[in-house]
Amino acid sequence: MEATPLKLAFHQVLTIVAFIILAKSNISSSCDDNSTTRTSSTQITSTDSTSTTPSYHVNTTIPSNYTQTTFRNYIVKSCNLSTYPSICYRSLSPYASKIEADPLRLCKVSLSLALAAANRASSSISKILSTKNLTGIAEQVVQDCLGNVKDSIGELKDSLDAMGHLDGVDRKFQISNIKTWVSASITNTQTCSDGFDEMNVDATLTNKIRRIVMDVARKTSNSLYFINNNVY
């Protein structure tokens, strides 16, 4: 009669022990799963973070072809409003990168090109005179024209020099002088051209020198336009 209660008690103990062992096993498994989940989650976040982090580095360098196009467009727009647009663009476009869409540089380069054209004209007319193949009247007209061109050279040089001194207190005075000198340069080239018509000089000689001198006059006219509209 006493064996039965003992057996029952023994079985109850075994049941409790088995339950504790099973519970530990489940807890351990659950902790392992949670650890794996956390590790996996951390790894995914890290991978995602690495792969999706945006780059905020901005390349601020302006492509050279962009700047060149911008400078050329400035020359086009400026020349379209000038007195002689096609001559303006042909002469100034090679200097687009030097001008850099700067109005003052535009005026200086334009004046420099007019001065260069005047120097070439002076050289060409001097060569014509040196041939000694001219008649008395023609020679005198050509001599007068050369004098006009040399005066034009002096006026353009004075203008360019004054353009480099616009930072002083006499800025307005300098600008007024520049406009006067450039206008006088144009008048001198026109006087040269008119002399051939007035004296009925040979048409071939007249046309040859007129082409040379008119190149100076047109480039100088464009310079005056830029000065009148960009220098204040």
Quote the pLDDT of residue 96. 94
- Reduced to 3 states, what is the DSSP secondary structure of residue 100? coil
**What end-to-end distance do the CA atoms of the chain give, in Å?**
129
The reported pTM is 0.70
Count of C-beta atoms within a 10 Å radius of residue 229: 14
| Closest listed residue to residue 137, CA positions, set 188, 89, 197 | 197
| Closest listed residue to residue 220, CA positions, set 81, 97, 116 | 116
Quote the pLDDT of residue 66. 53
Give the whole-angstrom CA distance, residue 218 versus residue 176.
21
For residue 14, pLDDT beyond 80: no
Average pLDDT over residues 139-148: 95
Average pLDDT over residues 193-221: 92
Quote the pLDDT of residue 31. 42
What percentage of residues in the chain have a pLDDT greater than 70? 72
Q: Are the C-beta atoms of 181 and 155 separated by less than 8 Å? A: yes
pLDDT digits (tens, 9 = 90+) for 154-184: 999 999 999 988 988 889 999 999 999 999 9
Which residues 6+ apart lie within 8 Å of 230 measured at CB? Answer: 103, 104, 106, 107
Choice between 163 and 198, residue whose per-residue pLDDT is larger: 163
pLDDT digits (tens, 9 = 90+) for 101-110: 999 999 999 9
Instruction: Write down the CATH number for the domain with range 98-230.
Output: 1.20.140.40
Domains of the chain, by residue range, sit at: 1-48, 98-230
